[in-house]
Amino acid sequence: MSQPDVIVVGGGLGGLGAAFSLTRQGLRVRLLERAPAFGEVGAGIQLAPNCTRILDDYGLLDEAVRLGVVPDSMVMRDAVDGSELTRLDLRDLEKRYGYPYLVIHRSDLHGLLLRACERVGVELITDAPVTSYENTGGGARVTLSTGETHEAGVVIAADGLHSLARELLVDDEPVSSAYVAYRGTVPAELPRVRSTDLGEVVVYVGPSCHFVHYGLRGGELLNQVAVFESPKALAGQEDWGTPDELDAAFARTCDFVRDGLPYMWRDKWWRMFDREPAMTWVHDRIALLGDSAHPPLQYIAQGAIMAIEDGWVLGEHIARNRAADGTVDWDPALTAYQAVRPEHCRRVVTTSRKWGELWHLDGVPREQRNTLLRARDTYDYSFTDWLYGPTALTPDQEPEMFTPIPLSSAS
């Protein structure tokens, strides 16, 4: 095999997105995936306008829309009494930001990106677990578990929450939230789905738990996610997040939420971790991307989006630092990537934590939260403008954050 310009480690959404982005800039990209075959585990994923804008730039948005659902509204309800707290008009939101809010099955999005990489000629290699990274004189090298080595001008580490490459830059460990997620999909022909508005993305927020549902695959499926804080995790037990805890966590919730629990997959669950924000992502010719750099909790639905943004931003800076003969001046390209992405993703990671705390309140704080949310105007975008607008390429393009509203201000 001839030496590529770039090696991408990791064949998830972030790795495939980066490989496509860099290949469309004329680079030869080799992607190394540790699993024997490409695939994505999970169910639904939400793509806000800051992501669908990039998919449109890639020429992939129309296919994504055909595979997913473009909902009309996002609705937040109280999980205990079922009452509506606030909503977003997603059709109006599309007019404001220029691109739709889309929900899609993770495997459908993954397949879309995989096919795009195949079309543009990304060299896709499976069964290739990387065990070490190192910089070389003029690039970087990775070593596989077999002892085989691969070299390129740059290595992009999209190797996930437990990234080996991150160890070159940050001495830290994943942080457990003590929350766990159960997922499941329900076929459209079942009564559970026929009684549900698939034009809505709905989240029921409750004491130490929440429940999400929305349609997938053009309305063929109802996607459900049930998330709760595990008492076993808080007690330091190793066996936490079990189905008995799922049922106990939602015992106080309304009928609609409880009726959805039997449809969850009970043989697997996802423990929720993030990491403290890392502000250095580049180590000479090795750069972090996606969850290796910024694994978030999922409360503002930006994890995969941040990874896709990372690849797009890197591609744009490569285009700005590429000579007429096709060679890339990697130092300024990676410096520009480092200058803008860590701060944006720090904001997302820390806001995700705060948003999760807000969702899971009980007692008087829950009542204060509900009062403030019910007072919100449907067309108030002050809490989304910093996130859903165009992805910044330079620090000066990063919009100002929203101003938090204290719970104590609720009358």
Residues labelled as active-site residues: 214
Neighbours of 280 (CB within 10 A): 12
Looking only at the bridges linking them, the beta strands covering 29-32 and 6-9 are parallel
Report CA-CA distances (Å) from 129 to 117, 144, 164, 318, 368.
20, 5, 11, 27, 49
Angle at 209 (CA atoms; ends 207, 210), nearest 5 degrees? 115
Neighbours of 267 (CB within 10 A): 6
Tokens of 342: 């860590």
Give the contacts of 72 (CB within 8 A, at least 6 positions apart): 89, 90, 91, 199, 200
Neighbours of 52 (CB within 10 A): 25
DSSP-derived letter for residue 170 is: -
Tokens of 73: 């509204």
